[in-house]
């Protein structure tokens, strides 16, 4: 029997609440690391990290998304045996691949570091994070199962547990290793991630043991693998394009630090300064930009199986209702987030990171990053519709364009040019995903709410400018002035939404699927 249709919205709310808690915990951890390691240490962390996503992506083969989609479809059709077969085959593949590739990465770590790392001090951090790959890969399979069943509570609880353990380990390890040098402290921060992922995996395994599928008499791993060729084909047909996108993304992420520092070198910036500027961008600016997107990311996680269920039952009306919900959430969250990140850019980076230099980069990226709040749901819709090839090529084209833009603008205008190049790539990716969906099933929306939200954004910005000036004139500390003016402007934004009837709450509730 399929899950109630309302589980889509409930799952989104559960994941959003967990993501909010995780962002708070992550911010606490990030603030401590940023202040303890400085921009240079953050730069080392960012340089060491990209290898792991590459290994994880290869070992997962895009299976988590495929699992989520196929489990949702099998659950809609009541095929419990297929659900178990999907899980067993996926676990077997990811376990073998992840252990093999992690072993290779550890044995060839010095050679890999000589190619990928522009600053060899990041070697210890890269070595410390490498063992995380098989842990994350197996966890991803279990999360794919829970997403497909639209049982988001287990995922939410495991994520909160992971971040709680991580922050405790980060505080302990960075404090213990910092006297030995910034390189060892960065390695300690990476090792904390490994410990927290182990705890998360144990929780997911226990949750599956308690609430997961119960095998029938005669079912064994061997029987599932022996008779699961068609299931394996389905998994790979959906998973390989997603894996290809992940591999391309990981390769790009691995070489992005080198690309950025090389472009900055052509602009006449030294290696040490380039590492510091990269740390300002990746360690300080990006966390603030991605902070508000936890709601749209949670929505996207729940959207893949929800769209898959609607597609397999050929319910086009439900597909478009859920698409409309997703885009409205992206609009309502992205609008105030963009205003806050743009208008309070320097106060935010000063108060949180004691790095006012990062404010300029945040102000450059914030307007372009507005499109990211739509891109995550659009990408999830493409995956739910089974259009993984379109999602892959959209990503390849936009990433290639972004790389060229970073190099060209970075070599001419320094770190400011790099920021513009990254933002242009994000905008292009969202537009390509939008056109792919429009060409496939059409895309119907009302322009009026978008115009009204635009008006509310302008009014919020004016309110924020006036209130920040007012509280500063009272000689309040910067932190208090910033918090007070942001709070007042947010409340003003919500009031303008209500007064202009931008969001018709009754209509919005009617679009929520019910059982």
pLDDT in tens, 57-74: 777 777 888 888 888 888
For residues 266-273, give the mean pLDDT. 82
- The tokens describing 301, both together, are 């996680």
For residues 99-123, give the mean pLDDT. 74
DSSP state for residue 292 in the 8-state scheme: G
For residues 118-141, give the mean pLDDT. 79
Per residue in 70-104, pLDDT (tens digit) is 888 888 777 777 888 888 888 888 888 888 888 88
pLDDT for 374 beyond 50: yes
At residue 320, the pLDDT reads 84
Alpha helices in 267-293 (DSSP H): 271-279, 286-290
Choice between 26 and 3, residue whose per-residue pLDDT is larger: 26
* DSSP per position, 118-180: SSGGGHHHHHHHTTHHHHHHHHHHHHHHHHHTT-HHHHHHHHHHHHHHHHHHHHHHHHHHGGG
Which band of pLDDT confidence, cut at 50, 70 and 90, is reported for residue 226?
Answer: low
At residue 90, the pLDDT reads 86
pLDDT for 124 beyond 70: yes
pLDDT for 512 beyond 50: no
Percent of the chain with pLDDT over 70: 88
pLDDT for 4 beyond 70: no
- The tokens describing 136, both together, are 């994350």
Per residue in 319-334, pLDDT (tens digit) is 888 888 788 888 888 9
At residue 490, the pLDDT reads 94
Residue 374's H or E segment, with its range, is: helix 372-384
At residue 457, the pLDDT reads 92
Residue 207's closest CA among 158, 164, 159? 158
Which band of pLDDT confidence, cut at 50, 70 and 90, is reported for residue 429?
Answer: very high
* Rounded Cα–Cα distance for residues 37 and 76 (Å): 50
């Amino acid at each position: 029997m399929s899950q109630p249709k309302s589980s889509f919205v409930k799952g989104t709310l559960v994941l959003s609440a967990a993501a909010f808690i995780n962002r708070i915990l992550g911010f606490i951890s990030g603030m401590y690391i940023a202040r303890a390691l400085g921009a240079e240490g953050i730069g080392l962390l960012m340089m060491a990290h990209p290898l792991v996503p590459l290994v994880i992506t290869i070992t997962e083969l895009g299976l988590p998304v495929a699992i989520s989609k196929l489990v949702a479809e099998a659950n809609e059709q009541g095929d419990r045996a297929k659900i178990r077969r999907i899980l067993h085959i996926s676990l077997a593949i990811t376990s073998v691949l992840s252990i093999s590739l992690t072993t290779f990465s550890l044995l060839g770590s010095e050679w890999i570091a000589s190619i990928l790392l522009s600053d060899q001090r990041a070697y210890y951090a890269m070595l410390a994070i490498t063992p995380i790959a098989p842990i994350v890969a197996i966890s991803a399979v279990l999360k794919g199962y829970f997403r497909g069943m639209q049982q988001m509570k287990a995922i939410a609880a495991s994520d909160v547990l992971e971040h709680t353990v991580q922050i405790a380990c980060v505080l302990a390890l960075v404090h213990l290793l910092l006297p030995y040098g910034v390189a060892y402290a960065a390695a300690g921060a990476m090792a904390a991630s490994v410990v927290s992922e182990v705890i998360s995996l144990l929780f997911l395994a226990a949750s599956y043991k308690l609430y997961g599928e119960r095998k029938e008499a005669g079912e064994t791993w061997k029987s599932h693998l022996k008779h699961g060729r068609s299931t394996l084909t389905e998994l790979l047909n959906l998973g390989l394009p997603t894996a290809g996108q992940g591999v391309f993304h990981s390769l790009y992420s691995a070489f992005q630090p080198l690309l950025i520092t090389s472009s900055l070198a052509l602009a006449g910036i030294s290696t040490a300064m380039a590492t510091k500027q990269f740390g300002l961008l990746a360690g300080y600016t990006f966390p603030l930009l991605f902070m508000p997107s936890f709601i749209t990311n949670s929505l996207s996680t729940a959207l893949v199986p929800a769209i898959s269920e609607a597609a397999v039952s050929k319910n086009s009306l439900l597909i478009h209702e859920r698409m409309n919900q997703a885009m409205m959430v992206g609009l309502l969250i992205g609008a105030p987030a963009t205003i806050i990140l743009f208008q309070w850019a320097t106060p935010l980076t000063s108060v949180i990171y004691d790095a006012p230099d990062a404010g300029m980069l945040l102000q450059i990226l914030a307007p372009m990053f507005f499109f990211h709040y739509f891109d995550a749901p659009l990408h999830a819709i493409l995956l739910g519709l089974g259009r993984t090839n379109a999602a892959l090529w959209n990503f390849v084209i936009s990433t290639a364009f972004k790389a060229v833009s970073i190099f060209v603008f970075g070599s001419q205008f320094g770190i400011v040019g790099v920021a513009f190049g990254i933002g242009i790539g994000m905008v292009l990716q969202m537009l390509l995903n939008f056109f792919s969906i429009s060409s496939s099933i059409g895309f119907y929306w009302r322009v009026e709410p978008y115009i009204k939200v635009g008006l509310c954004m302008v009014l919020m910005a004016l309110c924020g400018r006036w209130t920040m000036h007012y509280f500063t004139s009272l000689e309040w500390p910067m932190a208090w002035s910033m918090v007070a003016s942001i709070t007042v402007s947010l409340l003003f934004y919500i009031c303008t939404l209500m007064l202009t009837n931008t969001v018709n709450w009754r209509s919005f509730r009617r679009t929520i699927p019910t059982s």
